[in-house]
């Protein structure tokens, strides 16, 4: 199948492009390289069945050209801002990179009659609902970050465009996804801090914030499993792992893997890392489990595997 | 209080501006006059406590100037596309006039630290859920029109901006609001059709589509009652009437008021008027009733009062 992967040079996008090519698909990758990198797609660039356009998906005229030329049959939309802290300072980033990309892509699909869409949404659409078990039909969605708001707005657009244009859309709401090519987030920050000073580690909040971390290969399997399983309209799936890892546990695993014994943790205090961050949540995976997919790695295993990979890739000690 | 009414020259906006002035407030009206008209604000323009800016709310630099100059304490956001059929043909209208206006207004409020917002949302955010009694916490919101999608996206933005900037926002989801200055919709269309030919009336769908129609003065009362009652964060209220009126009933009331006996109805067939229109729904008003507000007019009374007013205002027969 001819698949357009928008945001295909990012952390998740590039892993997905590789997997799709391995499965025999033809992949057209679009990325503005604002968060994605050429390095991520260096290897797959050599494949015949891969083409790359460095284009910002909000530039609808250029996107029309790509649709015209490449005639995609399926769109995987992963383009979005992925740095929630940056947009907390500047909400315009979400308006442009998260919401407007979705709108313009849907306009392209409408014009060129592309009927299948896979959208990377987020558990941040739920907002801050401590204690509740959040399933896809949870009520009163009230995002507390601009990122969550732009993703929920994107889902609303997909709902209307799917209905109005007989599209079939599958929406995955996923939590933190981690793996080798990760370039931001708490694991990355901790490694950077410990490289500077391996005696002390500053931890935002009280360290008890727990989140489910999902390993990239589990996410890719889920996408490959479900991509053909699209019904008319919009279907939403939570995707993730049932277990969670606290920020302090991440620090513990990291110190263990780095062979550091005496790191002093200094907590900045408070319940969450930053305003707009959701400190703790748990959401139901019953729907996706019922159709036969389940993550292989627990949250702690995903954290450890990611850390091992990053540490193996580079010499972190300034010898 | 200094109140900025965006979309203040529209059907609802202009009635609201008048009421706010009568209540002793100072009103700054912003409207791009795309759907609003100068005629709507002709009378209030003479008031000292009223000022008018013909500005498109998406032009953020101009809006910054107005916030700088006028220092509003409260923003009433009613600017949106109000013609769902037009945006069904061109979704860009909703992206610009409904979603982007909300985003840019919130950016202004963030910058100038305005903490109170009242937002006109719509029952179209719920999507097509026949048979369910929809309350504010209804789950699985899936709009089927671009209009409903852009309004739901706007609510998501308001949720995040309210949390991030300690705003207090009240969101009203309302159904069809009717009254004297109405310039589109089924009543207006029927009058126009009967003016051309009073022997036959074409009715879209099967005529059994039922909706609650709310009279403008009831909406204005609700807004005045609730505007001071804003809590931190975002609070959503359904607002409307419990009764409904079918399209055929509207035709019946109209013929009666016009003194026409033998109009033949010709139905185009199907369940809804046009794609993206929600044929039938009912939503719970328990929350707003619980805080003491209730509409005075039933849906049929609102329809009849509107028809009487429109017919009284103009001689409809081409004598």
ipTM: 0.90
Contact A144 B161 (CB under 8 A): no
Query: Model pTM?
Result: 0.91
In the A/B pair of chains, how many CB contacts fall below 8 A?
Answer: 121
Q: Which residue of B has its CA nearest to A138?
A: B139
Write out pLDDT tens, residues A61-87.
Answer: 999 999 999 999 999 999 999 888 899
Q: Which residues of B touch A (CB under 8 A)?
A: 88, 91-92, 95, 99-100, 103, 106-107, 110, 125, 127-128, 136-146, 148-150, 152-154, 156-157, 159-161, 163-164, 233-234, 275-276
- Chain B nearest-CA distance from A138, in A, is 6
Contact B153 A99 (CB under 8 A): yes
Contact A157 B153 (CB under 8 A): yes
pLDDT score of B168 more than 60: yes
More confident site: B281 or B315: B281
Q: Which of A128, A156, A276 sits opposite B149 (nearest CB)?
A: A156
At residue B266, the pLDDT reads 94
Contact A142 B159 (CB under 8 A): yes
Q: By mean pLDDT, which of A48-52, B154-158, B177-181 is the weakest?
A: B177-181
Q: Which of A146, A153, A233 sits opposite B153 (nearest CB)?
A: A153
- From chain B, pick out residues whose CB is under 8 angstroms from the CB of A107: 91-92
Alpha-carbon gap, residue A79 to B129, rounded angstroms: 31
Write out pLDDT tens, residues A4-34.
Answer: 999 999 999 999 999 999 999 999 999 999 8
At residue B188, the pLDDT reads 87
Chain mean pLDDT for chain A: 91
Q: Which of A128, A153, A234 sits opposite B156 (nearest CB)?
A: A153
Chain mean pLDDT for chain B: 91
Question: Which string of DSSP letters, residue by residue, matches chain A?
Answer: -EEEEETTTSHHHHHHHHHHHHTT-EEEEEE-SSSS-TGGGTTGGG-TTEEEEE--TT-HHHHHHHHHHH--SEEEE--S---HHHHHH-THHHIIIIIIHHHHHHHHHHHTT--EEEEEEEGGGGB--TT-EE-TT-B--B-SSHHHHHHHHHHHHHHHHHHHHT-EEEEEEE-EEE-TT--SSHHHHHHHHHHH-SSEEEESBTS--EE-EEEHHHHHHHHHHHTT-PPSEEEEEE-S-S--EEHHHHHHHHHHHHT---PEEEE-BSSSSSTT---B-EE--HHHHHTT---SS-HHHHHHHHHHHHHHHS--S--
Assign B128 a pLDDT band (cuts: 50, 70, 90): confident
Assign A282 a pLDDT band (cuts: 50, 70, 90): confident
Q: Which of A143, A159, A164 sits opposite B160 (nearest CB)?
A: A143
% of chain A with per-residue pLDDT over 70: 94
Q: Which of B218, B241, B225, B125 is nearest to B173 (CA)?
A: B125
- From chain B, pick out residues whose CB is under 8 angstroms from the CB of A156: 125, 141-143, 148-150, 152-153, 156
Q: Of A116-120, B37-41, B170-174, which one has max mean pLDDT?
A: A116-120
More confident site: A281 or B41: B41
Q: Which residue of A has its CA nearest to B163?
A: A144
At residue B318, the pLDDT reads 35
- Chain A nearest-CA distance from B57, in A, is 16
At residue A272, the pLDDT reads 60
Assign A273 a pLDDT band (cuts: 50, 70, 90): low
Q: Which residue of A has its CA nearest to B125?
A: A156
At residue B315, the pLDDT reads 43
Q: By mean pLDDT, which of A36-40, B175-179, B280-284 is the weakest?
A: B280-284
- Chain A nearest-CA distance from B315, in A, is 39
Q: Which residue of A has its CA nearest to B145?
A: A160
More confident site: B155 or A184: B155
pLDDT score of A316 more than 80: no
- From chain B, pick out residues whose CB is under 8 angstroms from the CB of A139: 137-139
Q: By mean pLDDT, which of A50-59, A173-182, B48-57, B303-312 is the weakest?
A: A173-182
Write out pLDDT tens, residues B171-225.
Answer: 999 888 999 877 778 898 999 999 899 999 999 888 888 889 999 999 999 999 9
- Chain B nearest-CA distance from A256, in A, is 36
Contact B91 A149 (CB under 8 A): no
Mean pLDDT, rounded, for B54-74: 97
């Amino acid at each position: 199948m001819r698949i357009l992967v928008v945001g295909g040079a990012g952390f998740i996008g590039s892993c997905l492009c590789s997997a799709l090519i391995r499965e025999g698909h033809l992949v057209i990758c679009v990325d503005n390289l604002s968060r994605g990198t050429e390095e991520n797609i260096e290897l797959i660039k050599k494949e015949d069945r891969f083409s790359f356009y460095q284009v910002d998906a909000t530039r609808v005229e250029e996107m029309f050209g790509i649709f015209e030329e490449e005639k995609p049959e399926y769109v995987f939309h992963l383009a979005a801002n992925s740095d929630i802290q940056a947009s907390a300072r500047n909400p315009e980033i979400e308006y442009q990179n998260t919401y407007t990309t979705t709108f313009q892509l849907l306009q392209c699909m409408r014009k060129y009659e592309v009927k299948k869409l896979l959208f990377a949404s987020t558990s941040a659409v739920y907002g801050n609902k401590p204690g509740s078990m959040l399933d896809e039909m949870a009520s009163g969605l009230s995002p507390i970050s601009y990122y969550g708001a732009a993703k929920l707005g994107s889902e609303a657009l997909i709902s209307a465009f799917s209905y109005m244009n007989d599209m079939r859309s599958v929406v995955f709401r996923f939590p933190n996804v981690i793996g080798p090519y990760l370039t931001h987030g708490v694991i990355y920050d901790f490694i950077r801090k410990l490289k500077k000073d391996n005696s002390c580690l500053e931890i935002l909040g009280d360290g008890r914030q727990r989140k489910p971390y999902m390993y990239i290969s589990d996410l890719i399997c889920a996408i490959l499993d479900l991509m053909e399983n699209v019904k008319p309209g919009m279907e939403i799936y939570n995707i993730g792992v049932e277990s969670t890892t606290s920020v302090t546990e991440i620090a513990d695993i990291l110190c263990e893997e780095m062979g550091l014994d005496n790191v002093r943790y200094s907590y900045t205090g408070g319940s969450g890392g930053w305003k707009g961050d959701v400190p703790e949540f748990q959401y139901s995976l019953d729907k996706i489990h019922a159709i036969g997919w389940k993550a292989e790695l627990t949250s702690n295993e995903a954290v450890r595997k990611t850390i091992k990979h990053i540490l193996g890739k580079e010499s972190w000690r300034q010898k």
